[in-house]
Amino acid sequence: MAQIEVRNLSIEYRLPKGEGTFTAVDSVSLDIEAGEFVTIVGSSGCGKSTLLLAIAGLVPIADGTLTIDGDAVEGPGPNRSVVFQEASLLPWKTVLGNVRFGLEMRRWRQGDLSKRAMQYINLVGLGSFADYHPHQLSGGMRQRVNIARALAVDPAVLLMDEPFGALDAQTREVMGDELLRIWERDRKTALFVTHDIDEAIFLADKVVVMGRNPGHIKDVIKVDLPRPRRGEMLDSDAFAEYRRRLRAHLAADMATMHLVREAV
C-alpha cells in the first residue's frame, strides 16, 4: 500500500453569488510511496495546487477518497506540513519566533522549543538571522524560514506549493539544491508543486503532469537520474529527453487552452 493514496478524487469550488460550482480537480488517482520525492507540474489553473492543499487537509474534497498511511484525510494533521508559495510568516515575529510558532500550534511537547527551532534554522543556513524579522529578509531567506518551520514539526509528508515560484532564476536553483541536500538527510515523502519543467525533473523521483479543464493527470513520468542530483545533470541527454516529453505535454495543454479561448 502506498503512503498517500488518491482515488478518483474530485474537488469543487463554489462560485460566488450562487452560480454553481467549478470543478478544479476531476477524478484524479495517484499513489505516492513513502520516501518518494514527487513533483506535480502543469500550466496555471490545472488544479495542481488544489490537489496539494487537499492532501494538506486545507481544501474539502467533493468526491473520491484520500488516505495517508491508510487514514482518510479530514483536515490538517501532525503527519503533514506545508511550505506555502507566499512564505506566510508572522511579520511581527522573528525568524526564531516563526519557526517556534509551528511547534507551538502543533502542541509540541518534547524538549525545548527554541532549541529545536534553532536546530532547523541552522539547517536552512539562517543561524545568524534568528533575531531578524521577515521584512528584513530577502524572498529566498523567507522561504528558508518557511521550510525550517515545516521541517521542525517532523512531518511524515512534506507538502510544498510552488515555494520558489516568486524567486529569481539563480536563487531558485540554489534553493532547489539546498532543498535536496536537506531532503537527502532523512528522505521524507515530499510532494512539490511547480510550473517550472526543469525544477520538476531535477527534484523528482516521479513527475506528475496535470492538464486543465477540468484538472486531471495527463501522465506520470519516472525520473531515473542518479542521486544526489548535480547541476551538470541539467545539460545531460537524459535530462533533455525528460524535458522534451514534459514540454510536449504542456504545449498540448496550452494549445487546447487557446482553442477554448477562441471558441469563447
Which positions touch another protein (CB under 8 A)? 56-58, 76-78, 80-82, 84, 86, 88, 90-92, 101-102, 104-107, 133-137, 149, 153
Cα–Cα distances (Å) from 38 to 11, 17, 170, 239, in that order, read 20, 37, 22, 16
In whole angstroms, the minimum distance from the beta carbon of 60 to another protein comes to: 13
The 3-state DSSP composition of the chain as helix, strand, coil percent (nearest 5) reads 40, 25, 35
In whole angstroms, the minimum distance from the beta carbon of 157 to another protein comes to: 12
Our CB check for another protein shows the closer of 152 and 207 to be 152
Our CB check for another protein shows the closer of 141 and 197 to be 141
In whole angstroms, the minimum distance from the beta carbon of 158 to another protein comes to: 12
In whole angstroms, the minimum distance from the beta carbon of 81 to another protein comes to: 7
Could you give the CA distance from residue 148 to residue 122 in angstroms, rounded to a whole number? 9
Residue 60 φ then ψ, to 5°: -70, 145
Could you give the CA distance from residue 49 to residue 208 in angstroms, rounded to a whole number? 12
Our CB check for another protein shows the closer of 7 and 133 to be 133
Residue 77 φ then ψ, to 5°: -145, 165
Our CB check for another protein shows the closer of 33 and 104 to be 104
